[in-house]
Amino acid sequence: MDGKILTVDDLTLSVQNKKILRGIKMEIWAGHIHAIIGPNGAGKSTLVSAIMGLPGYKPEQGKICFLGENITNLPVFERAQRGLTLAWQEPARFEGLSVEKFILTGAKNKCHKRAEEVLEMVGLDPHKYLNRAVDKTLSGGERKRIELASIIAMEPKLILLDEPDSGIDIDALEKIFSLLKKLKQDGITIVAITHSLAVLSQADHAFLMCCGKILDKGDVNRIASYFRNKCIPCNHDRFMVSTIETAP
Amino acid sequence: MNNSDTALELLKSLGIDIGHVFTEDVAKIQVHQNKVVGLHLVPGLRVQADEMKDGIEAEILIEKGMKIEKPIHICFGVLPEEGLQKVKLHIRAQEESKAMILAHCTFPNARQVKHIMDADIEIEHNAHYAYFERHVHGPKGGVDVIPNAKVHVQEGAEFSTEFELIKGSAGNIEFQYEVNAEAQSKTEMTARISGTNNDQIRLHETVRLLGEYSMGVIVSHIALKQYAIADIENTLVAHAPFSRGHVDCKEIVVGNAQAKAVPTVLVKNPTAHVTHEAAIGSVDAKQLVTLMAHGLNEDEATDLIIEGLLSKKQNWQNMIKEME
């Protein structure tokens, strides 16, 4: 594996006859924080959906390997059982399902104490939250942190984070950022997709994505500078026609 | 079997720890087919039960101003494979009284059992009356459950009822409740039912908000698998000024099951406000993949989502836990 935990090779995918991913190639290094940054519509969420194997995101061509195993045709739950998981931009609501039960669903250690520990890690008071339902009585930000807690309890090897900052207030965001560093210290690999420079700044390594392609990869500061100066002001359509072939 | 043995068998079929539950301060009424096999009263509670040919007729009275601390336990059951049990109940919670009833209906061996209940319930001025009914059926169904109740909730009174049938096969359920609610009263009716095999579930509930500032909520959460069929009609009519109501009907349908839901809300006063939500369909795709991304396969994830939908309301949970 040579330190690579995940490789994506020539991944092409269409949704409703529209080509969204165009020959994506990526290598994700174990124990690092990676960011995939790009404007809205770049294909970032589609890419993580394909990596996770969500229904409707089956590649037309290409290969996804996790820990050296070709997982391209594995269903979602088998990928999860191998240590790959996903935290959604907008987590689902579950009527009648308690926070504790939700957290322990995929947990390695299914005890009450563990549920308390992981809630504390995301900055939520277990006494206030464990018995509540994961439903509409929780804000989007609370559900996001609870989902992150549930993922930590799984003790996965690689976490795909879809827009980890959306719906999170500034104080909680600092908590999430320090948590990402802690997870990294524990040897967990993180791939965060974002269009936020604040999230990008937490990464060790970045990919720049637009129009279904990886345009650049490498140093976070260089990618951030390009994104700030070129992508943000860029009209997306103009970006498509003029920049795509001349990216740095 | 003598009466106490029969009562014991009924409770065993429910998995209740009787040693823990039935202290002197807990009232109990236990009925097997047409026999009262267990009766214990507490101050503030009066019961007159008469055995009929194929069931019982009972008057239950909670006396004026009396607040009965512990839930009153009622158990109806038929232990043999075949039988008919008709229950006629006349329940009156007098002014300013307060009581909770925890009712279990058990038909663990049923192949051809019919349980028919007709109730008239009067909740007097400022009284609080809560009724939780749990059904325990065998795996093959074989039970016709036909509860029919007419309820009058007087001014300032509170009435809540929760019907739960999530263990075993439901069989054939025909459930009909009608509530007339007076000024500043509160009514809440919840049904949580799991249907499987060829179960047929028919649930018709009506709440009429007749008095100013009365409130009513009807909640139906149904999960259907295999060839089960459900037909749900929830009706909430707001006649009175400033009355408030909500109808919530959610059904999950898996396999070849079928569901029909007709939530009807009718507002007859411009200051009244009634809302409704209804959702019928397969398991929510996002919930499903979220749980699958936690490592659950599709069947495990589906079962967990259904378990959540059918879970108890929070305010009943401690009471049930204490009892069982």
Q: A96 and B289 in contact by Cβ < 8 A?
A: no
**pLDDT higher than threshold 90 for residue B315:** no
Q: In the structure encoding, which two tokens stand for residue A83, read together? A: 């240590």
What order of strands is seen across the sheet that includes strand A189-194? A84-87, A158-162, A189-194, A33-37, A205-210, A213-218
Q: Please tell me the distance from the alpha carbon of residue B162 to that of residue B307, in angstroms, as a whole number.
A: 16
How many CB pairs (< 8 A) connect A and B? 65
CB count within 10 Å of CB B77 equals: 27
Nearest to B73 by CA among B118, B121, B39, B107: B39
pLDDT band at A2 (very low <50, low <70, confident <90, very high): low
pLDDT band at B22 (very low <50, low <70, confident <90, very high): low
**ipTM value for the complex:** 0.91
pLDDT at B313: 63
The secondary element (H helix, E strand) that includes residue A81 is helix A76-81
The dihedrals phi and psi of A51, each to the nearest 5 degrees, come to: -65, -40
Q: B296 and A105 in contact by Cβ < 8 A?
A: yes
CB-CB: which of A80, A92, A133 is closest to B295? A80
Q: Which residues of A touch B277 (CB under 8 A)?
A: none
pLDDT at B13: 67
Angle made by CA atoms A134, A129, A156, in degrees to the nearest 5: 70
**pLDDT higher than threshold 80 for residue B16:** no
Nearest to B248 by CA among B280, B226, B201, B223: B280
pLDDT at B220: 94
- pTM, 2 dp: 0.83
**pLDDT higher than threshold 60 for residue B46:** yes
* pLDDT tens figures, B195-241: 999 999 999 999 999 999 999 999 999 999 999 999 999 999 999 99
Is the alpha carbon torsion for B40, B46, B50, B51 positive or negative?
Answer: negative
Q: Is B7 helix (H, G, I), strand (E, B) or coil?
A: helix
Are residues A33 and A203 in contact, defined by beta-carbon separation less than 8 angstroms? Answer: yes
State how far Cα A100 lies from the chain centre.
23
What order of strands is seen across the sheet that includes strand B258-267? B45-52, B55-62, B82-93, B112-123, B143-153, B172-181, B200-209, B229-238, B258-267
Q: B294 and A106 in contact by Cβ < 8 A?
A: yes
A122 touches chain B (CB under 8 A): no
pLDDT at B122: 98
Are residues B279 and B309 in contact, defined by beta-carbon separation less than 8 angstroms? Answer: no
Q: A92 and B290 in contact by Cβ < 8 A?
A: yes
Q: In the structure encoding, which two tokens stand for residue A147, read together? A: 């989902």
pLDDT at A247: 44
Contacts of A226 (CB under 8 A, 6+ apart): A208, A216, A248
Q: B309 and A96 in contact by Cβ < 8 A?
A: yes
Contacts of B278 (CB under 8 A, 6+ apart): B247, B248, B249, B250, B261, B263
Distances (CA, A) of B242 to B32, B183, B184, B263: 45, 10, 10, 21
**pLDDT higher than threshold 50 for residue A242:** no
Q: Please tell me the distance from the alpha carbon of residue B105 to that of residue B323, in angstroms, as a whole number.
A: 15
Q: Which residues of A touch B301 (CB under 8 A)?
A: 77
Q: Please tell me the distance from the alpha carbon of residue B207 to that of residue B205, in angstroms, as a whole number.
A: 7
Task: Kindly provide the residue ranges of all beta strands, DSSP E only, lying in chain A, ordered along the sequence.
Answer: 4-15, 18-29, 33-37, 61-66, 69-70, 84-87, 94-98, 133-134, 158-162, 189-194, 205-210, 213-218
Q: Concatenate the DSSP letters of all residues of B212-261 into one string.
A: TT-EEEEEEEEEE-TT-EEEEEEEEEE-STT-EEEEEEEEEE-TT-EEEE
What mean pLDDT is predicted for residues B35-40? Answer: 88
Label residue A2 left, alpha or beta by phi (over 0 means left) and psi (-120 to 50 means alpha). Answer: left
N-terminal to C-terminal alpha carbon distance within chain A: 28
* pLDDT tens figures, A145-193: 999 999 999 999 999 999 998 888 887 888 889 899 999 999 999 999 9
**pLDDT higher than threshold 60 for residue B276:** yes
Q: Which residues of B touch A77 (CB under 8 A)?
A: 292-293, 295-298, 301
Q: Please tell me the distance from the alpha carbon of residue B279 to that of residue B248, in angstroms, as a whole number.
A: 9
How long is chain A?
248
* pLDDT tens figures, A100-156: 999 999 999 999 999 999 999 999 999 999 999 999 889 888 999 999 999 999 999
HSE-CB of B248 using CA atoms within 13 angstroms = 12
